[in-house]
Amino acid sequence: MTRVDRPFFSRYTPDVARDVLGCVLVREMDGLVLRARIVEVEAYRGADDPASHSYRGMTKRTSVMFGEPGHAYVYFTYGNHHCLNLTTEAEGEPGAVLIRAVEPLEGIGEMRKRRGVEELTSLTSGPGKLTKAMGIDLHLNGEDVVKSKELFVLYGRRIEEVAVSTRIGISSGQEKLWRYYLEGNAFVSGARTHNYRTRESVR
């Protein structure tokens, strides 16, 4: 397995989002290995994207989005949940891909323990769920996933069919179709938002 490299992330964010589908997210700690396949993502950019945290420019929190591509941007929201992003675009340009859902591959028992849930499809089918299942929190904010030993991404199998829709949980920027997911995958979140759906073949 080959690690996803810096140039992969240093591109137009929606392209990175679509291409990272099918790649494998790996979390290693305390001799533990957790692996999961990325099945749902969303793209967030900067000044052209009112739904993005970096829409109004750089702040202490969003500085990671402006930095070198290929780093983890982790934020805390709703007083309960962490969300994982991978930064994109050339250094100086804000951008990140939100990992919304993954499919567990290895360390499933550990994920169940961390989530306190048995149901396999509930383990990592949401941005807050997968961070809890994989032990991802603010201490990984800014982590360089190109070099990190704790959190990184491997290239995966080729993907046949990708579905596109509006992003979930945002109040502006709804005209952009920047949510990408594997059509029919059981771990995709957002069953409640039967919004715009388009199909397209990729790769």
Partner DNA sequence: GTTCCGATTTTCT
Partner DNA sequence: GAAAATCGGAACA
Residue 65's Cβ-count burial label (10 Å; 0-12, 13-18, 19+) is buried
Q: Does 191 bind DNA (CB under 7 A)?
A: no
- Part of the chain binding DNA (CB under 7 A), chosen from 11-19, 152-160, 169-177, 180-188: 169-177
Residue 48's Cβ-count burial label (10 Å; 0-12, 13-18, 19+) is exposed
Q: Does 145 bind DNA (CB under 7 A)?
A: no
- Part of the chain binding DNA (CB under 7 A), chosen from 6-14, 59-67, 158-166, 178-186: 59-67
Q: How far is the CB of 42 from DNA (least distance, A)?
A: 6
For the chain, helix (H) and strand (E) counts, in that order, are 5, 9
Structure tokens at 19: 């291409």
Q: Residue 165 forms beta bridges with which residues?
A: 179
| Beta-carbon contacts of residue 44 (< 8 Å; ≥ 6 apart) | 13, 51, 52, 53, 54, 65, 85, 95, 96, 97, 98, 178
- Give the C-alpha separation, 96 to 153, whole Å: 15
- Part of the chain binding DNA (CB under 7 A), chosen from 21-29, 56-64, 102-110, 142-150: 56-64
Q: Residue 180 forms beta bridges with which residues?
A: 41, 164
Cα 158 to its chain centre, rounded Å, is 18
Q: Does 113 bind DNA (CB under 7 A)?
A: no
Q: Does 76 bind DNA (CB under 7 A)?
A: yes
Q: Does 115 bind DNA (CB under 7 A)?
A: yes
Q: Does 189 bind DNA (CB under 7 A)?
A: yes
Question: Which of 10, 85, 148, 166 touches DNA by CB under 7 A?
Answer: 85
Q: Does 53 bind DNA (CB under 7 A)?
A: yes
Closer CB to DNA, 141 or 148, in the complex: 141
Site for DNA in 1-30 (CB under 7 A): none
- Give the C-alpha separation, 165 to 2, whole Å: 29
Closer CB to DNA, 98 or 151, in the complex: 98
- Which residues are at the interface with DNA (CB under 7 A)? 42, 44, 51-54, 56, 59-62, 65, 73, 75-81, 83, 85, 96, 98, 115, 117, 122, 126-130, 167-171, 189
